[in-house]
Structures are given as C-alpha cells and as structure tokens.
Structure 1
Amino acid sequence: MEFSLKTKLVTGYGCLKKIGEIVQSFGVKKVLLCTDAFLLQTPAAHTIQRELEERGIGCVVYDQPQSEPTDVQCDEGAKFCKEQEVELIVALGGGSVMDQAKAMSAIVTNGLSCCQLDNVSIPKRMLPLICIPTTAGTGSEVTFVAVITNTKAQYKMTIMDSDHLSPDIALCDPALLATLPPRLIASCGIDALTHAIEAHTSVLANPFSSALALHAMEMISKNLKRCWSSPSDMQAQEAMLLASTMAGAAFINSDEGAVHAIAETVGVAYHIPHGTANSLFLPYVMEFNRRGNEHCYAQIAERLGGACKDSDDVENSRRAVCFVQGLIEKLEIPHFSDFSQVNPDDFEILAERAASNPMSYDNQKPIGKEDYIQILEDAYQNKKIYL
C-alpha cells in the first residue's frame, strides 16, 4: 500500500491574504496569475495582485483558461509563461483552471507538448505551483493529475505524476465560495461526492483513502444542501471545501471508477461539464456496483445519513443509492435527456469507449460495454431507483 500527499494545505476564512508571504518564501521575482476572465475582475484576484505588488514581486496575468481545458490551450499558455519568464504560477479558479496551470507548468520545465505528457512519467518537476480553489468539487488543489482534452483525438488525457505534478501549496479560503451560483455549487458538490464514493469503492482503495472518503461523504451530506440554499453560509462552505479536498486526496491514492469513465466519455462527446456529467450517472453506477457489495454501500448509507438501524445491509445499500439520487433531484441538476445534443444512437460507441477507459478496470466490479449501454439508457430515461 502507498499513500502520498505532497501538497501543503493552508485553510481558513481569509487565508487568501497570506498569499504574499507564501509566494515570497519561494524567493521568486516574477509570478503568473492563471485565472479566467471573470475571476480576474473579482476581489480575490485583486487581493493576490496587491499582496504581491506590496512585496515587490512582479505579476503577469494569463486569463485565457476556459471550462474543460484542451491541449491547444495548455500549449499556448506554456508559451506565454516562457515568453514572460515566470518562476511560479498561482492558479485561481476551479478544476479547469488548476488542471491547466499544472499542464502549463509541466510543459515549461520539460520542453514537451501537452500531448507528449499524456500517460507518461514526467521527467522534471513542474514550476512551483500554488492552487487557490474557488469551487468545492474537483480537489485538484491536492491531486497530481491534470485532465486535459486532446482536441485531435477527442478524448480526455490523464497527465499524472505523483513526484512532479503535485501543487506545492493549496490555499483553501471558503470566503471565495460565497458568491457561487447554486447550479455550480450543486454540480461541483456532486463531483466531490463522486470522488469520495469512487475512492472508497475502487479496487485500489486502502484504509487511509477510505477514511478520508467516508468522512468527506458525511461532510458533503450535511453541508451541500445548505450551501446550495444559502451560498453565504460560511460554515457550510468551509466544510464543503475541506470535504472536496479530502475527497481529492482520497481518490488520488486509490482511483476512480465507472462513473468517471462514462462521464468523461459523455462529457467530451456532448460538451457537458464534468461535475454535471458525473451526476448523470452516479446513481446508476452505484446501483450496478451495489449488488454483491451490499456491506460497502451500507457503510456509505450510514455516512450519508440514509441508513436505517433496523435494516440489513441489502436494504441499507439500496438506501445509499436512493439517497444520492434524491439529493441530485433536490439540487435541480439537469437530467441526461435534458441535453438536446444527446442522441441514443451514440450509446453503443460511447459505451465501447467507456469500457476501454483505464478507470473501468479499477471499478469495484468488472464492467463492460453492455453494462454501460444499460447505464446510459437508464440515465436517459431518468429511471427512478426505489427501495
């Protein structure tokens, strides 16, 4: 068994103001702020720029990252980094921004293209990287993975290296989540829940990853609906941010499974955001995996608050699935059939691609093309799962 967490965590309300002293500790003179055009106009970006300026540290801005980053965008960003001769990157944003920052940073130090980093050991450590998440979902601030779309082959590459792609610092300030729209809170929250559930149920799960995953599930169950209903609830937002980070640390030390395999495939094909794509399939993959693994899902039901003391593992395992499907409904996340671009005629090829995704091999139990076709059909029909 191996467990690794190489990122230093700095958490707490208002901790963003520590960014200046943290960057200064690296002894660098020029920094790249990697964020998107919207976040660049927020107080968070202004705070970062001001704190750096007060310490005489130069800061250039790269505000091109968009949702679901591509290899082309990463190569362009890395070129900008080289031209500006930056020594450290500060990534302010959600998973897409942080993943792009990781890829850009590794491209700079290794002299390779983004596609050349796909599924290989990265030779050299990336530039120093400080990740500041503005959503509670991906856990990318502590993972050594960047998920980038290969524009030519139309699939999501996994750039991964535990030694050379872990962020140096994760600066987690719940104050940055106060203005998130409910729809984003919902999709990101279910993304974090998916990470926790798949980390615990993966064939590569271990006692440390499961401990983090189970605790993350409990925190998400207690706080996601609160955040969605009242984004200014800082106690709930802080709990969600910590849960997201825990789930990230959990899955990076085990793996994800069939939910991510099909969600990535469908996300690329239909341009559906990652968190939303996970929510479309999570209940149906849970129902598939639950059979034969009832005790595991009874544990999940207990952490989610959906278990019944007088019920056996079989019934409580169903309660876990019903709880998750009910939560997704309460959060008003769209159904698979709500996306007009979805075509059932595509399901066979989508299922084939998902079955060949490496994450399918680490799913809790063997899963193949026909199983994925059934999951796609159930999701498209918005099939209800009952006790």
Structure 2
Amino acid sequence: MRFSMRTKLITGYGCLDQLGEAVRSFGVKKVMLCTDSFLAQTPAAAAIQTQLAGAGVSCEVYTQLQPEPIDVDCDRGAAFCKEQGVELIVALGGGSVMDQSKAMAAIVTNGKSCRELDDVPIPKRMLPLICVPTTAGTGSEVTFVSVITNTQDQYKMTIMDADSLSPDVAVCDPALLTTLPPKLVASCGVDALTHAIEAYTSAVANPISSALALQAMEMIAQNLKRCWETPSDREAQSAMMLASTMAGAAFINSDVGAVHAVAETVGVAYHIPHGVANSLFLPYVMEFNRAGNEAYYARIAHRLGAAEPGAGDGENAKRSIRFVEELIAQLKIPAFASFPQVDPADFEALAARAAKSPMSLDNRKPIETEDYVRILRDAYQSKKIYR
C-alpha cells in the first residue's frame, strides 16, 4: 500500500492571514497570484497582495483562465511565469484555478508543453505552489493531479505525479466560502461527496483512503445542505471545507470510478461544469454498482445517516442511493436534459469514450459501453431510482 500526503495544511477561520508567512518561508522574491478575473477583484485577492507586499515579495496577478482549464492556456501561463521570473505560484480559486496552476508550475520546471506531460512521470518538481481554495468541492489543494482539456483531441488529460505535483501548502480558510452562490455550493458539495463515495468504493481503495472517505461522507451529509441554506453558518462551512480536503486526499490515494469517467467525457463534449456533471450521474452509477456490493453501500448509508436500524445490507444499500438522489433534488442541481446542447444521438459515442477511460478500470464493478449508454439515458430521462 502507498499513501502520499506531501501538502502542509493550514486550516481554520481567518487562516488566510497566515499566507504571507507561508510564502516568506520559501525565501522567494517574485510570486504569481493565479486566479480568475472575478476573484481578482475580491477582498481575498487584495489581502493576499497586501500580505505579499508586507513580506517584501512582488506579485504578478494572472487571470488568463477558462472555467475548465485547457492546454494552450497552461502553456501561455507557463511562458508568462518564465518571462516574469516567477519563483512561486499562489492559486486562489476552485479546482480549475488550482489544476491550471499545477500544470503551469510543472511546465516551467520541466521545459515541456502541457500535452507532453499527459499521463507520464514528471521528472522535475514543479515550482513551489500554495493553494487557497475558494470552494468546498474538488480537494485539488491536496491532490497531485491536474486535469486539463486537450483542445486538439478533445479529451481531459491527466497530469499526475505524487512527488512532483503535490502542492506545497494548502491554506483552507472557510471564510472564503461564505460568498459562494448557492448553485456553486450545491455542485461543489456533491463533487466532494462523489470523491468520497468513489474513493471508498474504488477497486483500489486502501484502509487510510477509506477512513478519510467515510468521515468526509458523514461531514458532507451533515453540513452541505446547511451551507446551501445558510452561507453564514461558520460551523457548517468549516466542516465542508475540511471534508472536501479529506475527500481529495482519499481519492488521490485510491481512485475515482465510473461517475468521473462519464462526467469528464460529458463535460468536455457539452461544456458542463465538472461538479454539475458528477451530480448528474452519481445516483445512477451507485445503482449500477450496488448489486453484489451491498455491504459497501450499506456502510455508506450509515455514514450518510440514511440507514434503517435493523435493516439488512440490501435495504440500506438502496437507502444510500435514495439519500443521494433526494439530496441532489433538494439542492436544485439542473437536470441533464435541461442543457440544450445535450443530444441523445451522441450517447453511444460518449459511452464508448467513457468505457475506455482508465477510471473505468478501477470502478468497483466492471462496466462496459452498453452500461454507460443506459446510465446516460436514465440520467437524460431523470429516471427515479428509489423515490
């Protein structure tokens, strides 16, 4: 068994104030703040720049990012880093910002293009990277993977290396979650739940990843809806931030499965945000995996608070899926068919692509193209499973 956790965690309300000290510990003089154009105008970005100035560190703000990162932007950003003599990157944002920052940091030190880093060992460690997540969903602040769209061949590349791509520091301040719109709270929260469930049910799970995943599920079940309803709930926001990080540490040391395989395929084809795409397929993949694996899903039901005392594994496995189905409905996440670009005529091709994904290999139950076709059709029809 192998378990990697190289990232130093700084957590708790107001911990963003410790970022300047964290940067100073690297002894650098030039930093790039990588964030999106909206976040660049927020108090968080201003606070980071103030702290860096106080530490005697100059800062270049970089906002050339897409909602889903693409290879050419990573190459451009890396070129910018080289031109400006950037020695460290601070990534402020959600998973897209953090993934692009990882890719850019690795391109700089390895002298390769983004596409050349796809699914190969990364020889040299990336530039120092400090991640400041502004959502509770991806867990990218502690993962050693960067998921980037290959714009030439239209698929999501996996740039991954435990030694070379782990962020150095994660500054996880729940105060940054309080201004998130409800739709992002919802989709990011279900993204984190998907990470936890797939990490636990993966065919390559291990005792440490499973312990983190189960605890993350419990915390998400207890706090996601509270965050969605009451953004000012500090206790719930703190729990969700930590649960997201724990789920990230779990899945990167286990794997994800069929939910991510189909969600990433559909996300590239139809430009549907990753968290939403996971939400669309999570209940259907859980139902596909349930038969023959009832004990796993029964334990999930207990952690979600959905188990019926005295009921057997079969019944409680179904109750775990019912809980997830109802939670997604309560959070008002859009239905698959509500996206006008979705065309059922594409489902065969999308299913074939998902079946070829390496993530399908680690799904708890073997899954084939025809299974994905059924999942896509059920999701498109918003088929009720156990409601």
Instruction: Summarize deviations over 1:343-383 as a string: whole Å, max 9, x none.
Output: 00000000000000000000001000000000001000101
Instruction: Summarize deviations over 1:35-66 as a string: whole Å, max 9, x none.
Output: 01000100000000000101211111101122
How many angstroms does 1:15 deviate by? 0.5
How many angstroms does 1:233 deviate by? 1.0
Counterpart residue number, 1:304: 304
Q: Does 1:174 align with 2:143?
A: no
How many angstroms does 1:241 deviate by? 0.4
Counterpart residue number, 1:219: 219
In structure 2, what residue type is equivalent to 1:83?
Answer: E
Q: Name the SS of the counterpart of 2:171 in structure 1.
A: strand
Write the mapping of 1:131-280 to structure 2, written as runs, cut at 5 A. 131-280=131-280
Report the TM-score, using the length of structure 2 for normalisation: 0.99
How many angstroms does 1:310 deviate by? 2.3
Report the TM-score, using the length of structure 1 for normalisation: 0.99
- How many Å separate the matches in 2 of 1:265 and 1:234? 35
Write the mapping of 1:71-110 to structure 2, written as runs, cut at 5 A. 71-110=71-110
Q: Percent identity?
A: 73
Counterpart residue number, 1:368: 368
- How many Å separate the matches in 2 of 1:148 and 1:231? 30
- How many Å separate the matches in 2 of 1:246 and 1:47? 26
Q: Does 1:51 align with 2:58?
A: no
In structure 1, what residue type is equivalent to 2:18?
Answer: K
In structure 1, what residue type is equivalent to 2:274?
Answer: H
- How many Å separate the matches in 1 of 2:96 and 2:271? 14
How many angstroms does 1:232 deviate by? 1.4
- How many Å separate the matches in 2 of 1:125 and 1:241? 27
- How many Å separate the matches in 2 of 1:201 and 1:53? 46
Counterpart residue number, 1:8: 8
- How many Å separate the matches in 2 of 1:184 and 1:270? 18
Counterpart residue number, 2:40: 40
In structure 1, what residue type is equivalent to 2:354?
Answer: A
Counterpart residue number, 2:294: 294
Q: Name the SS of the counterpart of 1:218 in structure 2.
A: helix
Counterpart residue number, 1:342: 342
Matched residue count: 387
Q: Name the SS of the counterpart of 1:299 in structure 2.
A: helix
Q: Name the SS of the counterpart of 2:256 in structure 1.
A: coil
- Give the stretch that moved more between structures: 57-66 or 243-252: 57-66
How many angstroms does 1:199 deviate by? 0.1
- How many Å separate the matches in 1 of 2:114 and 2:351? 27
- How many Å separate the matches in 2 of 1:260 and 1:88? 31
In structure 2, what residue type is equivalent to 1:145?
Answer: V
How many angstroms does 1:215 deviate by? 0.2
- How many Å separate the matches in 1 of 2:20 and 2:220? 31
Q: Does 1:60 align with 2:60?
A: yes
- Give the stretch that moved more between structures: 315-324 or 230-239: 230-239
Gaps of 5+ in 2: none
Counterpart residue number, 1:112: 112
In structure 2, what residue type is equivalent to 1:365?
Answer: K
- How many Å separate the matches in 1 of 2:232 and 2:337? 32
In structure 1, what residue type is equivalent to 2:185?
Answer: I
How many angstroms does 1:85 deviate by? 0.4
How many angstroms does 1:284 deviate by? 0.2
- How many Å separate the matches in 1 of 2:295 and 2:54? 56
In structure 2, what residue type is equivalent to 1:92?
Answer: L
How many angstroms does 1:234 deviate by? 1.3
- How many Å separate the matches in 1 of 2:135 and 2:4? 23
Counterpart residue number, 2:356: 356
In structure 2, what residue type is equivalent to 1:200?
Answer: Y
In structure 2, what residue type is equivalent to 1:337?
Answer: A
Q: Name the SS of the counterpart of 1:303 in structure 2.
A: helix
- How many Å separate the matches in 2 of 1:137 and 1:222? 15
In structure 2, what residue type is equivalent to 1:50?
Answer: T
- How many Å separate the matches in 1 of 2:172 and 2:6? 16
Counterpart residue number, 1:128: 128
- Aligned-residue CA RMSD in angstroms? 0.6
- How many Å separate the matches in 1 of 2:163 and 2:21? 25
